Amino acid sequence: MPHGFHGRILTIDLSSGKIGERRLNEDDVKKYTLGSGLAVRMLYDEVPPDIDPLSPENPIFFLSGLLTGTIVPTACKMSVCSKSPLTGIWNEATVGGHWPAEFRMTGYDGIWITGKSPKPVYILISESATPPNVKILPADDLWGKDTYETGAILQTRHEKHLVAVIGPAGENLVKIASICFDPPISRFAARSGIGANMGSKNLKAIVVKGHGKRVSVADPDGLKSLLKEEIPQIKENTKALGEFGTSGGAPAVESFGDLPVKNYLLGAYPDVVKISGQAMREKIWVRHYACWACPIGCAKIVKGELAGFGKFEGHYPEYETLGMLGSNLLVNDMNILAYANELTNRLGMDTISMGSAAAFAIECYEKGKITREDTGGLELKWGDAASIVGLIEMTAYRRNKIGSALARGVKEAAEIIGKNTIDYVSHSKGLDYPAHDPRGHVSMTLSYATSVRGACHLEGLTYFLDRGIPAKDLGITTPPNQFEESDKPKIVFDMQNFLSLFNPLGLCKFLFHGRVGHSQITRWINAVCGWSWTPDGYMKTGERVFNLKRLYINRLGISRKDDLLLTRANSYPKKEGKAKGIAANLAKMLDEYYTLRGWTYEGVPSEERLKDLGLL
Ligand code: SF4
């Protein structure tokens, strides 16, 4: 029996109702690990590139990370991968919480779902289901319900089971729909419309209860003794994250000129302190929460009330949500922010893209590009609760002209509205920016431009380096200058290769805050799997996975012409704040970056590099 994985992928065809499984071999796992690494191998090899993302034939993969469900710190993640309805290219949405670890204890490493059920259904994976412990059950009574309501019903029906569920937005094929795991506490696989992939299959939820089948660990005592020394250090280095959550970093982000403000128009936002993690901790915090095996515990539960709308209790707004549904909309009231977060989560949408969509709509309204006729009579104003709540509901239910446009994502919405409103959108490869303004860290200009799924803040994380978090294994011990371009191609290259394995391994990227490098992770992998990986081998595997994803999007027509940041955030230097006047020279950085990657001028991996990486 292999160590570190079960070697079984559950396969479900929702058109025919056929349930089966496929076996994995250790060579594939060593080469790509699991999670998004294995998903891209399967998508590249077995799915026609021109497939419609919302067609029954387009698969959706739920794949555990290699270490998920073990005692390795933060080994809680799963990659949900598919061809994206929002961008038409690769998508990997990662999620933590407890569902992925529970799923892994069912004895499977992942699920490969194809087809489309003729009626709404949910999947039950549990000892109580008939062999092979999987059932497809009717979900007509759940269709139309929000993520929390559905979660509560399913948890009553299937006691002690965990739930992953889409909301009305996923059912309505909204291209910014998310999948909610573990409601009502909730973690989300959110970006690039992954919830619409699930909705297109008439699949409302997946309910799991593990059978205690943990993956076998090759050297449990060795792993325990490594962790005994390392966990206290990780805790010490991440104290602030544990106390104030990701939103605790918001004032620092603002001081670096990195915060999105008024749809990326402004460069400073002193009011950020009113909605920061510190302010929420003082006023609306209820308790801390941690994902499986996490010694950091960055998540929080908050409780409050928004005048005119009612009470809320749920997951607190993460930093990305604070940036996009907060400062980007000029919100300075934490109750508006937390309520908007809660509503977006209940309806099952990505809070980043919803913030981006709302900012776009309010700017369009302010500049006369849309009117009350388009909004169902609603006046749209910056920082206004009614405007934001109205836009969230209109988008999830595709109501009115503006809701049905925003439901297609902000880039397509601008194309529908016309009138040069594309000028109000910031995106790369069709994915709108998250809450890091690339003018604040020029490395993020290159990172967004070359991220495989579009403007993704998680593929490079280089802003952490500028803010003083070292990456000793990569030789970065002092903070790089946030505006200096010459060192950034190498930094982005190294960071992308390093981070490229986090999703395949099932690890949380906040380990980086804990000063965990790839030498340490390599020791964990070897203890769990009984392998003899080296730190260099880790980096090479990361580079292999990154390049395989690049090959997949190359095959869909992506090349240098798409490695761009479009419109606002690179066309308009800011007039205030620390990043005032900054506009990075992307073309120059791109040339150097392509050389490091061994890619042609057009951004295609060379034969030589592919051979070196074992991809040819
Ligand atoms: S640091 Fe936060 S997001 Fe990461 S695993 Fe821990 S609780 Fe989850």
Contact 96 CB / ligand 1 (< 6 Å): yes
Contact 75 CB / ligand 1 (< 6 Å): no
- Number of the ligand 1 atom closest to the C-alpha atom of 76: 5
Tell me the mean pLDDT in the region 589-603. Answer: 97
Tell me the mean pLDDT in the region 26-37. Answer: 96
Using the mean position of ligand 1's atoms as its centre, give its distance from the Cα of residue 63 in Å. 18
Closest CA to 396 of 145, 172, 149, 184: 172
Using the mean position of ligand 1's atoms as its centre, give its distance from the Cα of residue 315 in Å. 13
pLDDT at residue 351, as a whole number:
98
Cis before 251? omega within 30: no
Provide the token pair at 130: 């008939």
Contact 78 CB / ligand 1 (< 6 Å): no
Contact 510 CB / ligand 1 (< 6 Å): yes
- The structure's pTM equals 0.97
Task: Count Cα atoms within 13 angstroms, Cβ side, for 423.
Answer: 11
pLDDT band at 213 (very low <50, low <70, confident <90, very high): confident
Provide the token pair at 436: 């890091």
**Which residue's CA lies nearest to atom 8 of ligand 1?**
291
Contact 101 CB / ligand 1 (< 6 Å): no
- Cα distances (Å, whole numbers) of residue 243 to 216, 300, 326, 338: 34, 9, 21, 18
Cis before 232? omega within 30: no
**Cα–Cα dist 531/177, whole Å:** 39
Angle between helices 220-237 and 518-529 (to 10 degrees): 150
Burial of 380 (0-12, 13-18, 19+ CB in 10 A): buried
pLDDT at residue 339, as a whole number:
97
Residue type present at position 333: D
Choose the residue to mutate in 67, 71, 76 for probing ligand 1, maximizing ligand atoms within 8 Å of C-beta. 76
Tell me the mean pLDDT in the region 383-405. Answer: 98
Choose the residue to mutate in 70, 510, 511 for probing ligand 1, maximizing ligand atoms within 8 Å of C-beta. 510
pLDDT band at 571 (very low <50, low <70, confident <90, very high): low
pLDDT at residue 585, as a whole number:
87
Contact 298 CB / ligand 1 (< 6 Å): yes
pLDDT at residue 131, as a whole number:
66
* Torsion angle in degrees (nearest 10) through CA of 496, 499, 501, 503: -120
Q: What is the pLDDT of residues 186-206, one digit of tens each?
A: 899 999 999 999 999 999 999
Using the mean position of ligand 1's atoms as its centre, give its distance from the Cα of residue 99 in Å. 13
**Cα–Cα dist 155/162, whole Å:** 7
pLDDT band at 270 (very low <50, low <70, confident <90, very high): very high
3-state DSSP assignment of residue 324: helix
Closest CA to 257 of 509, 510, 575: 575
Using the mean position of ligand 1's atoms as its centre, give its distance from the Cα of residue 298 in Å. 5
SS3 of 471-526: the string is EHHHCECCCCCCCCCCCHHHHHHHHHHHHCCHHHHCCCHHHHCCCCCHHHHHHHHH
Contact 84 CB / ligand 1 (< 6 Å): no
SS3 of 367-435: the string is CCCCCCCCCCCCCCCCCCHHHHHHHHHHHHCCCHHHHHHHCCCHHHHHHHHCCCHHHHCEEECCEECCC
The answer to whether residue 54 scores a pLDDT higher than 70 is yes
Choose the residue to mutate in 237, 291, 512 for probing ligand 1, maximizing ligand atoms within 8 Å of C-beta. 291
Tell me, what DSSP letter sits at residue 217? -
pLDDT band at 570 (very low <50, low <70, confident <90, very high): low
Contact 508 CB / ligand 1 (< 6 Å): yes
- Number of the ligand 1 atom closest to the C-alpha atom of 241: 1
Using the mean position of ligand 1's atoms as its centre, give its distance from the Cα of residue 264 in Å. 28
Provide the token pair at 595: 């050389």
Contact 136 CB / ligand 1 (< 6 Å): no
- Number of the ligand 1 atom closest to the C-alpha atom of 77: 5
**Cα–Cα dist 557/437, whole Å:** 27
Q: What is the pLDDT of residues 475-533, one digit of tens each?
A: 999 999 999 999 999 999 999 999 999 999 999 999 999 999 999 999 999 999 999 99
- Number of the ligand 1 atom closest to the C-alpha atom of 297: 7
Q: What is the pLDDT of residues 233-257, one digit of tens each?
A: 999 999 999 999 999 999 999 999 9
- Number of the ligand 1 atom closest to the C-alpha atom of 292: 5
Give the torsion sign (CA, 27, 33, 39, 43).
negative
Tell me the mean pLDDT in the region 26-54. Answer: 96
Residue type present at position 162: L
Tell me, what DSSP letter sits at residue 289? E
Cβ pair 312, 304 in contact under 8 A? yes
Q: What is the pLDDT of residues 457-474, one digit of tens each?
A: 999 999 999 999 999 999
Contact 296 CB / ligand 1 (< 6 Å): yes
pLDDT at residue 590, as a whole number:
96
pLDDT at residue 346, as a whole number:
97
- Cα distances (Å, whole numbers) of residue 93 to 62, 309, 334, 542: 10, 31, 27, 17
- Cα distances (Å, whole numbers) of residue 3 to 70, 110, 218, 394, 539: 11, 16, 6, 49, 21
Using the mean position of ligand 1's atoms as its centre, give its distance from the Cα of residue 291 in Å. 5
> Could you tell me which residues are beta bridge partners of residue 561?
none
3-state DSSP assignment of residue 84: coil
Closest CA to 284 of 296, 292, 293, 275: 275
Using the mean position of ligand 1's atoms as its centre, give its distance from the Cα of residue 95 in Å. 10
Tell me the mean pLDDT in the region 46-62. Answer: 97
Using the mean position of ligand 1's atoms as its centre, give its distance from the Cα of residue 292 in Å. 8
Closest CA to 517 of 464, 555, 450, 556: 464
Least confident among 25-29, 101-105, 157-161: 25-29
Burial of 284 (0-12, 13-18, 19+ CB in 10 A): buried
Contact 73 CB / ligand 1 (< 6 Å): no
Using the mean position of ligand 1's atoms as its centre, give its distance from the Cα of residue 149 in Å. 24
Contact 234 CB / ligand 1 (< 6 Å): no
pLDDT at residue 559, as a whole number:
97
**Which residue's CA lies nearest to atom 2 of ligand 1?**
298
pLDDT at residue 569, as a whole number:
64
Using the mean position of ligand 1's atoms as its centre, give its distance from the Cα of residue 182 in Å. 14
Q: What is the pLDDT of residues 61-71, one digit of tens each?
A: 999 999 999 99
> Where are the strands (E) in 36-76, listed by range?
60-64
Provide the token pair at 105: 């204890």
Using the mean position of ligand 1's atoms as its centre, give its distance from the Cα of residue 295 in Å. 8
CA end-to-end span of the chain: 29
pLDDT at residue 253, as a whole number:
96
Using the mean position of ligand 1's atoms as its centre, give its distance from the Cα of residue 468 in Å. 20
pLDDT band at 212 (very low <50, low <70, confident <90, very high): confident
**Cα–Cα dist 575/181, whole Å:** 41
pLDDT at residue 2, as a whole number:
87
Residue type present at position 606: S
Choose the residue to mutate in 71, 78, 244, 294 for probing ligand 1, maximizing ligand atoms within 8 Å of C-beta. 294
pLDDT at residue 511, as a whole number:
96
pLDDT at residue 394, as a whole number:
98
Q: What is the pLDDT of residues 79-136, one digit of tens each?
A: 999 999 999 999 999 999 999 999 999 999 999 999 999 999 999 999 776 667 899 9
Cβ pair 400, 380 in contact under 8 A? no
**Which residue's CA lies nearest to atom 4 of ligand 1?**
508
Using the mean position of ligand 1's atoms as its centre, give its distance from the Cα of residue 491 in Å. 25
**Cα–Cα dist 432/429, whole Å:** 8
Tell me the mean pLDDT in the region 345-356. Answer: 98
Burial of 614 (0-12, 13-18, 19+ CB in 10 A): exposed
Give the torsion sign (CA, 302, 275, 306, 205).
negative
Contact 535 CB / ligand 1 (< 6 Å): no
Contact 461 CB / ligand 1 (< 6 Å): no
**Cα–Cα dist 425/402, whole Å:** 15
